[in-house]
Chain A
Amino acid sequence: MLTQALKNRLPGRQVAHTRADAEGRVATLLVWGLITLLALALGLPLLFIFGKAVMNMDGHWVGLANVAEVLDSPGLMRAARNSLTLSLTVTGLVVPLAFAFAWGLTRSRVWGRELFRQIALSPLLAPSLMPAISLVYLFGNQGLLKSWLAGGNVYGFWGMVLGELFYTFPHALLIIITALSASDARLYEAGRVLGAGALRRFFTITLPGVRYGLVSAGLVVFTLVITDFGVPKVVGGDVNVLAVEAFKQVVGQQNFPRGAVVGLMLLLPAVLSFFVERRMARRQQAALTARAVPFAPARSFGRDLAVLAMLLLISALLLLLLGVGVGASFIKYWPYDLSFTLSHYQFDNVDGGGWSAYFNSLKMSAAAALCGTMLVFVGAYSCEKLKVAPVGRALLRFFAMLPMAVPGLVLGLGYVFFFNHPANPLNFLYGSLTLMTVCTIAHFYTTAHLTAATALKQLDGEFEAVAASLKVPFWITMRRVTLPVCLPALLDVARFLFVSAMTTLSALIFIMSPENSLAAVSIITMDDAGDTAAAAAMATLIVLTSGGVSLLVLGLEKLLGRQSQRWRAPR
């Protein structure tokens, strides 16, 4: 009776809180649970980098002394300059190439465009070490084509440029293809009617339409190159770059403060390009609100022939950089004894963990794909569909976008500083496959989240409202409706996480332990020890596994498509 009287005296808003239902409480708990997970896997490690950067080796506050020290160190500054030159050169080369390729794929009627597209995307299946190894086989000290270099050497700046070109090409291509596909045929028709020639149409319609895509591709490539570790490690020679320097400082010399400062230097371009990209994405969207008619290229023999030549040339180069490594792994002794052998796949007498490293990678990738997809789906669902805890959901969205701005190398540094800290109760995880899985999921979270969120956004926004009016709790609707409808997108997320986990190097190289080696990391070890053939074999294994899993997922999607055809097919 008394409580009733008290309740009556409370203003309406507070009564509402006391009446909050079980469903709302579960949803709120879910949101804050996810935030806790992401804070542990992402937020705190990043904070620790900032912490380490302003402390000395003994953990005392030194302010900006570490930064000053790095800026004064000629070696590090040379590395920074090299990194910058390398990134700018690769960006300047890869964006026009990828644009030409993408233009050929979207604006011509060349036969086999889908095949060319797959070839161009194949570097995604390989670790960035693969092109570097191929380059060593082609132009290294015993290289097949060493004579072409006329006494020169592949180890160094141009070797890195070539390797990075291969590694970043598909990333740039994907972005530019998307930009080009969003074009409106009506603009071209209007241009033709008004008497604009092909060249004028290209400069007044095509280029302005994709300028955001081009800039965005440039930013992505720049960030990828400046933070890449694999290519410079293998073919960098005596040209030092920041990414390798960070590794040397932290893993080699255990100089955490210096490593932290270098890490922050690498974080800077990534964060900058992240914000530039977000701003542009918003403007790009505004430019595309009108209902556009998709562009269908007209028949033109001359153009198609030129495009075919260009596609063949670039594809051949990409296949060469992929194929030489694969081929060499089956050859007894390059280039003297070219007979077939599987002996390089035995990994008996080489460092790096051999088959156990491969199986570790397999386990880790499978776990990342499985747990990551579930986590990403629940996270994206919370962001898009739940109505509780608006502050929590905003925070969740922030955490979901954060990894985009954090290079893997920086994340790995953060993991070293945070999880290896003696006072951290989670310290026992350090060096375990579990932590590597967590790190991988965190590293690739944004892309996975965006894929899932896009799929969720395409669903009718009123499903949840209808379910609520029918008194069905959200988790039942999530299981019975949302999950089945989003399954194709989730398969895509799982494939992406698996392949990324198989091929990534940058974050994991900091936190892996010798007893839990990984395939991609073992390539570095083998290459360092001069076992290039074994390194090529391991890289080939990764490519085959990633490719196999991609095909498997493709098959699953086909199967699923047939099963769900009944309700997906239009009337």
Chain B
Amino acid sequence: MKPADYLQQLSEHLSVSDLSRRFGDFIALDRVSLNVAKGEFVCLLGPSGCGKTTLLRLIAGLDMPDGGSISLRKEDITHAPPAKRDYGIVFQSYALFPNLNVQDNIAYGLTPRRDKARHQQRVRELLDMVGLPGAERKYPSQLSGGQQQRVALARALATSPGLLLLDEPLSALDARVRDKLREELKGLQKRLGVTTLMVTHDQEEALAIADRVVVMNAGRIEQVGTPAEIYRRPASRFVAEFVGEANWLQAEVTGSNTVCVGSHALRLEQAAPASGRAALFLRPEDIIVKPRWENAPNTVLARVADVSFGGAMTRLRLQPEGMPGVSLLAEVCPSMLNRQPVVPGEVVPVELPADRLLAYPEGAAC
């Protein structure tokens, strides 16, 4: 074993390698490998059926893999029963025991089972921690969705597990409660330093809460990175389309880092794909509407087809001249528009910044 490998393994808390799971002909998980460091908050993000829940259930021991291995604190737990692993779990449905009150729900896994006084002490601590003090005697049916979620979280954390698994924990909540709980969950996780793996299909949630995001598709990992990396530098066309909004332009590759869209030549900062055709990617907020025309690279004239007010951002639909059939979505700050009002029908100069344009091979898996 090389020293470098050894050092890297020290920081690994949860390690998944080459994990596969098939259901009949359907490949739910295709040789997936992933390392999670101690204290890290990792989100598994992807559309339904991408394998993220399967991966979580395999780690939880609720399902057994067809191949590969899982280790927690360098101990192989691939085939260990759930009770032999060290984790707490929160489900989308919360799965609170309806006939037990909050106290008994949270103390359910505490040992030794008879030590009531210690349990009470611990439950009080946990309820304070999740912001629900004094709720011991209530039953789940007497709590709101958000409160039930806090109890479920307290129950999962009661035994101080080394790993916290969250299966779409916020999906069943109202938008307002969801945002509030999201913040609290992140704060709590940082305070406790518990390694956390959360499954979600909500990209906004994943980007907001995670230290690292794992984007999955069709049983494979598409990209692992920080939220900024995922958003700014999507590793594949799938990630680019799944995370955030984007403009897509069909382009002809003309040089090592130049492409042609319609009659316009555009420069890229990264290398263009080798093939003849490429799909150009540009975030709406990266399009710059310029005050006046100047002959600069990547700058084109565009007709404003539509302007819609969107609160913090104003959305423009632009039809660049010389790019027939192309329609660009741009988001601009109203503060900028204050100086330069834009009205439908107007022709404005816009820049498609070279450092924000990414090119993907045409027809790549998406």
Contacts and interface: CB of A to CB of B under 8 A. Distances in A.
A485 B81 CA distance: 26
Given A21-B84, A23-B83, A567 B93 contact: no
B93 to A, nearest CB: 5
Interface string A552-569: 000000000000101111
Q: Which bracket fits the contact residues of B?
A: 35 or more
A466 B140 contact: no
Interface string A351-377: 000000000000000000000000000
A469 B159 CA distance: 10
Contacts of B83: 21, 23, 468-469, 471-473
Contacts of A567: 98-101, 139-141
A62 to B, nearest CB: 45
Contacts, number: 94
B142 interface: yes
Contact of B100 (A19, A387, A480): A480
Contacts of B139: 566-567
B99 A472 contact: no
A469 B89 contact: yes
Interface stretch (A10-18, A113-121, A181-189, A449-457): A10-18
B142 A465 contact: no
A571 B83 CA distance: 33
A484 B81 contact: no
B99 A465 contact: no
A463 interface: yes
B156 A469 contact: yes
A6 to B, nearest CB: 16
Contact of A463 (B61, B69, B95, B101): B95
Given A462-B95, A481-B97, A571-B142, A470 B159 contact: yes
Interface in B156-192: 156, 158-159, 161, 165
Contacts of A19: 79-80
B109 A470 contact: yes
Q: Which bracket fits the contact residues of A?
A: 20 to 34
A23 B83 CA distance: 9
A20 B64 CA distance: 13
Given A462-B91, A466-B155, A472-B108, A23 B81 contact: yes
Given A16-B78, A469-B87, A481 B156 contact: no
A536 B85 CA distance: 65
Contacts of A485: 98-99
A471 B60 CA distance: 12
B343 interface: no
B95 A571 contact: no
A21 B144 CA distance: 38
B336 interface: no
B82 A469 contact: yes
Contacts of B97: 463, 480-481
Contacts of A23: 81, 83
Contacts of B155: 466, 470
Given A460-B91, A481-B97, 4 more contacts: A19-B80, A387-B62, A463-B97, A469-B156
Interface of A: 12-13, 15-16, 19-21, 23-24, 387, 460, 462-463, 465-473, 480-481, 484-485, 564, 566-571
14 contacts: A19-B80, A21-B81, A24-B81, A460-B91, A466-B155, A467-B109, A468-B83, A469-B60, A469-B109, A469-B161, A470-B88, A470-B159, A480-B97, A485-B99
